[in-house]
Chain A
């Protein structure tokens, strides 16, 4: 009996509901309650992770109904890693938003919606059922639509429209894919699909479902032809939420791609892997060019999300065990680094009252700690050894050389250099240059930004730990990759339990 498995989904929902029901207004008590709940989710995720790495995958049959009829929740190594990351980032972003906005100015629905977003994300990591995955995606997306427009002003709100339109179309495609999967495999349980897909290898239907799912998750992850919605919509978010969006939302797409290719479908869809690898190459180069062309922090960082997604997809496209492990390691590194870069941007904006690089400056003097954190995270993102980004990129490029995909390796290296260029742009604009004449420097900022700086420092320390403890983290990633690529183990865990309505 693994009832704990449902808690990463249940706790955030309960928190949101209790906030709406008993305290409609923001207040100190409510803030403390949400922070405690977020910390509890975090602790729970780590407990589950420890168990998942020492036991076979944990399974919960919802309502006691046996698969393939019942919905199952499964936590294996990869899901546990993702749960830990999402709860840690959520905790950091919630604490940051407390510092970002005084209590009286907080949007009453912001934190409840954020908790629903966490719930949707956690459910999509937990679920072992294709249609349940759709529901989880929708919980996540609906919460993200609402948060995106909640605090947007009149001029920015139109940017939510492409986001909504693309994602609604993606959801419709997902439904079509789920329907097709049901008609091809006769089941929606991921373990059952994997069993039947193995039996019907080479069948045209398997390929069609796989391609549709790749398109759907590609939209969610922001892969090359379908990323337009992302870089323009994220900048309209406040920094604390932007950090969470940039860290988690697209990575859900990556997680699901890993799950479908690793566990669900047979490992012989070679044409699809090749197509993914080339799309990934295009994604990272084109998006990083977009990042170089932007002149405000949120814009640059939002384009970087897409570019970094390219690396992860590239690793999935190579599809060797080492590449998958590298992808998982890269996801761990990316979520922490990206979120903390957004939070650094948020702190910087607190000093200068804007995030337009033309009107920022002098932050190196104003806050040397923040500048140090930024330079560490920026180099890490670009992949300078021995920081965390380097090891992920190194492993991916190594696989690329082994597989003789030289053009893709060149693309990855070019994207790395351009990443460094755009990071230096932020460095020059915000930290190095003197404050321009039309810029403002808030004299009270250093005191007010103390909490923010502390959160940023904590995340930077985590990222340093990932960099210097790369051996340990890569070991975890390899363990997760091994169990991900072993569908037999997953199936055995799911089908070993007995419940009502079994076969």
Chain B
């Protein structure tokens, strides 16, 4: 499991960086969504190898459990990522309405009269 998770995390990071470097707002947005998920998966994989271990629910069953702390951390990270993603969607939509473009490279062209 560890190798597969590591490969997947690497792949997700690669995809997210690739998308982030695009000009289009939509791809940048997807880039951030992928980035959030890549970091969350990375955090989860810090619990160690889950083979032969149970989910950390103490009320049910017994035996070795996976480290619960990264899962608690990941829940926090998901909440924060959720809020930030919505904020980013809203901001990009607003910029699109004002600047009438979804091309990030056209956004900061020098204007004739700055300020």
Contacts and interface: CB of A to CB of B under 8 A. Distances in A.
A466 B9 CA distance: 50
Interface string A159-182: 011001100110110011011101
A176 B42 contact: yes
Interface in B56-115: 69-70, 73, 76-77, 80, 83-84, 87-88, 91-92, 94-95, 98-99, 104, 107-108, 115
A182 B48 CA distance: 11
Given A131-B73, A179-B43, A161 B107 contact: yes
Interface stretch (A24-32, A74-82, A96-104, A149-157): A149-157
B108 A142 contact: no
B87 A179 contact: no
A149 B35 contact: no
A106 interface: no
Interface in A177-214: 178-180, 182-183, 188
A188 B83 CA distance: 24
Given A142-B84, A169-B35, A179 B70 contact: yes
A430 to B, nearest CB: 14
Contacts of B19: none
A161 B95 contact: yes
A178 B73 contact: yes
A296 B73 CA distance: 44
Interface of B: 20, 28, 32, 35-36, 38-40, 42-43, 46, 69-70, 73, 76-77, 80, 83-84, 87-88, 91-92, 94-95, 98-99, 104, 107-108, 115
Given A157-B98, A179-B42, 11 more contacts: A131-B73, A142-B80, A146-B87, A157-B91, A164-B88, A165-B28, A168-B32, A176-B42, A179-B43, A179-B46, A299-B115
14 contacts: A131-B76, A135-B80, A142-B80, A155-B98, A157-B91, A157-B94, A161-B91, A168-B35, A169-B35, A172-B35, A175-B77, A178-B43, A179-B39, A182-B73
